[in-house]
Structure formats: C-alpha cells, structure tokens
C-alpha cells in the first residue's frame, strides 16, 4: 500500500527526522486534535520518513492499548473520514507510550531512554518536539524536568522545541511568572506558545489579503474606516469544561488570546518580512498602542453577561448557573463585549469592538470592517432606505470566505440604491478542504517557524491590556459593574448593542 511518508523526495519543505512527544497523551486534545492532525499531515506526505510519536501521561498504559485508543479517535475525529490504512499503520507502528508522573524527575530518564532507543533503531538523531497538552499547572514542572534530564539540549544538527498550550497564565503576574520559569529551562526560540486561531487558514489569509492586494492598504486607516467589529460566537455551552471555565471566563478563554490576535492582524503595520519576529514585533506594537481602560471606565466600555436557560438549535438548554461544576455564586462571564481604542496614526478615532460568547444563536467567527459613509450622498432624493455603507467581512468560520458589501442600482426605471455582496468563498474557489489549524501549527513547530506562535512580550501585553477589566470586575478601586443575563440561543445582552450605539447608529452587525 502507498506510503506517503516516503513518497515525496522533491519536497523542499521536507522535515528532518523528528519525534513528537505529547504530554497529556490520554487527554482530549491529543485524541481529538493532535493525533488526527499528525495523521492528516502523514496523508499529505508532509512528515519525514523517520518519524516517531511518544505519548506521555501519568496513567500506566501499554503501547498496544494506547495505539488502539488512538485508532478509534482518528477514525472519529480525523477530517478525512476514510482512513488510509497504510498511512495509519506506518504512523501508529511508530507510536509509543511512556508512563511518567510529570513531577517525578526520575521518570524522565525512561523517556530519554525511549528516545535514544528510537534514535539507535533508526540510526539517526531526531529533532524533538515536546507538546505540553496538560493542565497549565504542569507546564513549569515538565519544562524543568525536561531540562534537567538533558532532553532540551540542542546540537548543531538537532533541535528541541516545546509547544505550550493555553491558557498561558491567568493574568499578567502569572503569565510573567510562567514566562520567567520557562526561560530558566530553555531559550525563547525553543518555546512555541500556541494559539490555534493563528493556524486557521482564514486567519492567515487576513495577512495575504491585506498585503498582497495593493488597493486596500491606502484605505486601511482612520480616514476611510469607521469602525471594526470582531465576533467570536459559539452556540455550545461550557459542557464538561465547567471546572476550568468557571475559574476562567470568556475574557480569558477567548478574548485575551484568539480575539486579540485577530485584532492585531487587522490593525498591524506591514511587517518588514513574513518572518516570526518581524510579524510579532508589529503585533506587539498594536497591543502597546491600545488604550488601557481606566478602572472607572470599565463599566461603560465593557459589558459582561452570562447565559440563562433558552433554546439552541431547537433544544432546551440550561442556564450557566445550572451547569454541573459551576459554583452557585459564580460571577463568571460567558459573554463579553468591549470597545478598544488604538492610539496611533493609523487608527486614532476608530473604535474596535470585540465580542465573544457561548450559547449564542449560532457558531460564527467574523471580522467586519465598516467603511465610512461617502462624503456627499448624490442620490439622497431617491429611495435610500436600503442604503448602507460598505462592509468588508472576513468569515473566519464556518463557511469561510470574504464578502464585500457594496451599493448597487437594481434594474428598473427608478434610481434606487441597494446593498449587494461581492463574495469569495474558500469552498468554491479552491475546491479543497482546508487543513485543520493544528496541522499547520504542528508542521511549523517541527520546522522551527514561530511566525504563527505568540512571543512572551505579546502574551504579557495582552494580559496587561485586560488587567484593569479583571480588577474592576473584582470591585478593586471601583464599584464592580453588573453581570447581565441573556437568553441562551440569542445574540447576547441588550447592553452589548447599547455599547456600540454610544458611538454608532446601530448595534452589532447581524451574523
């Protein structure tokens, strides 16, 4: 049977022999995302001929049992539903399990032995990619033990890299502590802080769209853009993750990372190159330029809310406080809407509105750029009730694509103005299914390309930006603003529309 691993000697992006070591190997992320991503990379012929995977977790599990559980997960979660048995066999036969309590430095010797055994067996040194897919409580100790056991040492020819999952800290001080402690064990260049939104095709396309189409850049500023809306809407509730979510909330879970990354990509200046530090330098500049919201303004610039019972997709669902694992006196927000202002030459005076929420009417992530009205409306005596200013919207998911709303005259004797859409859809334009975010990000980390990963200063700036919001919500230095309610299956609280209507003539764009 065909083996794509060994199929493509002309591919110049081919990786060096590698091993991926996943900590948290029995967890959800490994089964739903990481191993299916490795499998799909293998199908695409993007993994090197010498490639191994080791799963590490605290439970004692035999290789065979581990392989069986991964096999059923890949069948269930791979984007390619029809499994190529040859490719899968090649991958799973080179997959092993090591039992290692994360805080037991001695056990890392077993891991090291296993890696050396595989190197001896394949007759070559392997690049090492360690993936920390565990609870964040273990990030520090795993890194320390990896370093103590010599597994993070690099040579001229072999590299050792560590992917760190989110959440990266819980606030500014904890993120700084985590950064500092990781840097005791490895160099910044070895750390790959993952934000899976950056691996989404449509998110990467934002940069291509902005910087390879000459006609947008001249109008990409305060002279022509009225405001920007960024929406990360989900219809799911907290499900089985209430334990984590109740101590986190949507501001930490989505806005601090995914939504602010989207904002940065809309707002950044052209980087000097499409290279890790050049892109990240520009993102940091954006984050630094966003005005910090004073404690006493949090109530007027930020709306927080949580879902009440309602119906989603025709099914009755419980309110947040009724979810199992949520504290009865919880004030955790499942919805947030914020207004940001960017103090720089490009964006002065252009509000950036960001909203994120669970149990909303539908799952959709969108960025919309709302252009200013024309300076003088020539057709004002005509039927202009449908007239709207131009909106450029990036549909990040689902139904990925870009739509530009323009005004046009419908056919007929009367001069009317009507909005119409110019539409680009990934599905119909490219005719291929987009890879999953984790595929791209695993591949980039194996290649050592950190462009789509976040740097320490970026993470800290993002926490710093939200610091006052957390303080105000805790009632520090001001009266804590209310937690509004919204019906599950709706578009969020009325207060979120009112936030926009302080400056605009309408609330959030209908999605």
Binding site for ligand BG6 (CB under 6 A): 166, 234, 253, 365
Question: At closest approach, how far in Å is the CB of 254 from ligand BG6?
Answer: 6
Nearest alpha carbon to residue 50 among 150, 120, 106: 120
- Closer by beta carbon to ligand BG6, 236 or else 408: 236
Q: How many helices (H) and strands (E) does the chain have?
A: 17, 17
- Closer by beta carbon to ligand BG6, 225 or else 233: 233
- Closer by beta carbon to ligand BG6, 199 or else 493: 199
- For 207-260, what is the HEC assignment? HHHHHHCCCCHHHCCCCCEEEEEEEEECCCCCHHHHHHHHCCCHHHHHHHHHHH
User: What is the four-CA torsion angle of 152, 194, 212, 375, rounded to 10 degrees?
Assistant: -150
> Nearest residue by C-beta to ligand BG6?
253
- Closer by beta carbon to ligand BG6, 364 or else 418: 364
Tokens of 342: 């960017």
- Closer by beta carbon to ligand BG6, 229 or else 253: 253
- Closer by beta carbon to ligand BG6, 226 or else 436: 436
Question: At closest approach, how far in Å is the CB of 101 from ligand BG6?
Answer: 26
Question: Is 258 among the residues known to form the active site?
Answer: yes
d(CA 37, CA 58): 23
477 phi and psi angles, rounded to 5 deg: 75, 5
Question: At closest approach, how far in Å is the CB of 334 from ligand BG6?
Answer: 10
Question: At closest approach, how far in Å is the CB of 163 from ligand BG6?
Answer: 14
Catalytic residue of the set 50, 94, 196, 258: 258
Residue 151 C-alpha from the chain's centroid: 28
- Closer by beta carbon to ligand BG6, 185 or else 365: 365
Tokens of 93: 């036969």
Question: At closest approach, how far in Å is the CB of 252 from ligand BG6?
Answer: 9
Strand order in 418-425's β-sheet?
418-425, 401-408, 391-397, 364-371, 225-233, 352-357, 335-340, 302-308, 483-487
Question: At closest approach, how far in Å is the CB of 365 from ligand BG6?
Answer: 6
100 phi and psi angles, rounded to 5 deg: -150, 105
d(CA 285, CA 32): 35
Give every CB contact of residue 168 below 8 A, 6+ residues apart in sequence.
136, 175, 178, 193, 257, 454, 459
Question: At closest approach, how far in Å is the CB of 382 from ligand BG6?
Answer: 42
CB distance 250 to 336 below 8 Å: yes
CB distance 508 to 500 below 8 Å: yes
Q: H/E element holding 162?
A: strand 160-164
Catalytic annotation, residues: 258
């Amino acid at each position: 049977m065909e083996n794509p691993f060994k199929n493509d000697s002309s591919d110049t992006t081919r990786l060096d022999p590698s091993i991926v070591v996943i900590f948290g190997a029995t967890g959800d992320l490994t089964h739903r995302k990481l191993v299916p991503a490795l499998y799909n990379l293998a199908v695409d012929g993007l993994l090197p001929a010498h490639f191994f995977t080791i799963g590490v977790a605290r439970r004692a599990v035999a290789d065979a049992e581990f392989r069986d559980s991964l096999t059923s997960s890949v069948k269930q979660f791979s984007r390619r539903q029809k499994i190529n048995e040859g490719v899968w066999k090649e991958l799973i036969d080179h997959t092993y399990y090591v039992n290692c309590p994360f805080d037991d430095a001695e056990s890392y010797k077993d891991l090291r032995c296993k890696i050396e055994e595989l190197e001896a067996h394949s007759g070559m040194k392997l690049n090492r990619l360690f993936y920390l897919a565990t609870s964040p409580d273990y990030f520090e100790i795993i890194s320390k033990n990896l370093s103590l056991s010599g597994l993070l040492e690099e040579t001229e020819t072999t590299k050792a890299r560590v992917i760190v999952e989110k959440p990266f800290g819980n606030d500014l001080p904890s993120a700084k502590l985590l950064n500092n402690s990781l840097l005791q064990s490895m160099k910044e260049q070895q750390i790959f802080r993952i934000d899976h939104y950056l691996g989404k095709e449509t998110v990467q396309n934002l940069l291509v769209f902005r910087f390879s189409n000459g006609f947008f850049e001249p109008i990409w500023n305060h002279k022509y853009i009225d405001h920007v809306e960024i929406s990360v809407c989900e219809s799911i509730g907290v499900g089985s993750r209430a334990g984590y979510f109740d101590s986190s909330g949507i501001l930490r879970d989505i806005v601090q990372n995914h939504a602010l990354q989207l904002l940065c990509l809309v707002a950044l200046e052209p980087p000097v190159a499409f290279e890790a530090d050049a892109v990240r330098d520009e993102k940091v500049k954006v984050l630094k330029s966003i005005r910090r919201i004073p404690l006493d303004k949090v109530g007027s610039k930020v709306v927080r809310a949580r879902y009440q019972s309602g119906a989603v997709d025709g099914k009755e669902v419980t309110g947040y406080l009724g979810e199992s694992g949520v504290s009865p006196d919880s004030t955790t927000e499942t919805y947030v809407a914020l207004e940001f202002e960017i103090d720089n030459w490009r964006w002065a005076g252009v509000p950036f509105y960001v909203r994120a929420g669970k149990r909303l009417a539908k799952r959709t992530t969108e960025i919309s750029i709302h252009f200013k009205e024309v300076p003088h409306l020539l057709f004002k005596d005509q039927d202009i009730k449908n007239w709207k200013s131009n909106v450029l919207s990036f549909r990040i998911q689902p139904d990925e694509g870009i739509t530009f709303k323009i005004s046009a005259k419908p056919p007929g004797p009367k001069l009317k103005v009507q909005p119409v859409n110019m539409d680009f859809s990934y599905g119909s334009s490219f005719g291929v299914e987009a890879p999953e975010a984790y595929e791209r990000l695993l591949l980039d980390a194996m290649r050592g390309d950190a462009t789509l990963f976040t740097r320490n200063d970026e993470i800290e700036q993002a926490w710093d930006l939200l610091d006052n919001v957390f303080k105000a919500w805790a009632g520090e230095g001001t009266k804590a603003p209310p937690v509004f309610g919204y019906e599950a299956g709706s578009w969020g609280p009325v207060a979120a529309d009112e936030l926009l209507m302080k400056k605009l003539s309408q609330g959030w764009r209908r999605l």
